[in-house]
Structures are given as structure tokens and as C-alpha cells.
Amino acid sequence: MFESYLNSIGLSFTNNELSTKFEVGNSGGMRRSIKNNTLILIADHKKKMYSNIWFDDVLFYTGMGKNGNQSLDYKQNKILKNAKSLGVTLLLFEVYEKNEYIFRGEVELSGEPIKDIQEDINKNEREVFLFPLVLIKNATDVHNIDALRKKKLYSKYSNQSLYLLFKKQKNIRERYITVNTYYRNVVLSEFVKRIANGVCQLCNQFAPFYINSVPYLESHHVIWLSRSGSDSIDNLVAICPNCHKKMHYVEDSCDLDKLLNVAIENKYSFLKMVEGFS
């Protein structure tokens, strides 16, 4: 059984295929198979109500319950929380496009569930639980694929939706995350590229090529994260791949000065762009 699971990592299934192959029902975000002693977890990134957010290698997965405060004693939440002692295998799927369930593999809880505040189905604020999940196998590969998916997804967001996501991430990050790897904020990087609007912020040339009709630029931390630079908008610029290589290989102080100033301007452009969004 598990061998056949492993072969499917990275593959995408329709909802019907998923329920046939993994022997679970065809609705709900958490689906139990008693027969296989598995719990299928579906992180649907298109759904506004449940927010499932990756921080580095940890997925904060929102528990079950659409109305009022969530409870850890409720149905699948209880199974998820006690998966280890119950011997339940947790299998993760992610959804970015309609009816496309991408199988990520087996996950486990990396810590206790944490409380968060989110809106319920009636738009009332309520308590939810976020389960920190990590992939057991192939985490690195998945992470790379995931970064591309995320970029594609975020590029479709309006400024306002992107800002809401940024605030949500920031919130969770400030409260719960201690990071020892360099976490890069994909959302901020999308913002800084919007601000640059296709023009390299160092050489001022237009991006050298397009990907999916979007001019290709890269985001760069002016003070590198490895030198204690911050992952914030006033330390981020969008530059062309040539300039990016240059910044990492040639440490020209004029370039550095220019980009430090550009990053400060980026901060003001960002504030202007999100003005009025709550």
C-alpha cells in the first residue's frame, strides 16, 4: 500500500481519482479511511475560508469546523492531533487549480496545534487550530515545486488580496515561528516586482525575457539575510538576473548605495499601494 503511495508523490488527481485510489469519501478537507488507517488532508489554497500557509518547510493547516470556535475533540481534529498514537498515516494533498489534487506525500505533526483567529462561514471571528505539518519524505523537492506554484498563484492576486495574505503570514510568523533557516517571504517578493514594473532597479533596463507574459525579475535582499539583513520591504529590490549575479559576486559599493536607496523608496511605494487596505 505505502509503496504505491510513494510512487504517486507529485502527481495530480481529480477528486474522483483521489477518492477511488485512496479509498476515502469525495468531500471535505480531512477524509478518513478506516480500512487503510489513513487520514487524507487537503490544503486547498483557492479556498478563502481556511487558510493553509507554508512557512519554510512547515504547513500550518487549519482544522475542521466551519462555524464558531473549533475544538480539538471534534471528529477529524481529534484524529489528526492523536495521529501518532493512533497509528494513523497522514497524507497531504494541495490544490491550486480547480479539481487538481496534488499528492505531496506523508506528513507528520511537528508540534502542538496552535490557536489562531479566523473568520467563520458567517464572517464572525472565531478560534481555529493550526496544525503544523512537515513532510516526511522528499521535502526538498516538494519545496522547490511549491515555490513555483506559489509564485504562479500569487501573481494572480489583486494588490489587496496579496496584502491580506502578507498580513496573515506576518501575524502567524510573529507569534509562533522561530526560524533558523533563511525564510524568504514570497509575498513581499511579489510586491517588490509589482513596484519595479518590469524594470531592473539596478541597471534600469527592461527585464530580459518574459515568463507567462510577466517580465522576469528576481527579488534580492540588499543586505543579505545571511548577514542579518531583514526580510522586509525596505531591504528588498527587484533586479534582472545579470544584476543579481553581479550583486552576489561583485560587491560594488556604488551599486549597494543605489539599492539601499531604492529599497527605501520601495517601502514608500508599498505603503502607497496598500493604503486603505485593512
Q: What are the residues binding Zn ion (CB under 5 A)? A: 200, 202-203, 220, 240, 243
Nearer of residues 130 and 200 to Zn ion, judged by Cβ: 200
Written as nine digits, the cell of 138 is 522528499
Grid look-up 486603505 returns 276
Q: Which is nearer to Zn ion, 156 or 227 (CB)?
A: 227
Report strand pairing: 125-135 vs 114-119. Answer: antiparallel
CB of 222 to Zn ion, least distance (A): 9
Q: Shortest gap between Cβ of 214 and Zn ion (angstroms)?
A: 16
Cα separation values, 237 from 192, 213, 261, Å: 6, 21, 10
Tell me how far, at minimum, the Cβ of 151 lies from Zn ion, in Å.
Answer: 16
Q: Please return the burial class of 260, using the count of CB atoms within 10 Å of its CB with bins 0-12, 13-18 and 19+.
A: middle
Cell numbers at 127, concatenated: 478560534
Q: Is the dihedral of CA 78, 49, 89, 99 positive or negative?
A: positive
Return the number of the residue (183 or 277) whose C-beta is nearest Zn ion: 183
Amino acid letter, 157: Y
- 142 or 236: CB nearest Zn ion: 236
Query: Closest distance between Zn ion and the C-beta of residue 153, in Å?
Result: 23
193 vs 220 by CB, closer to Zn ion: 220
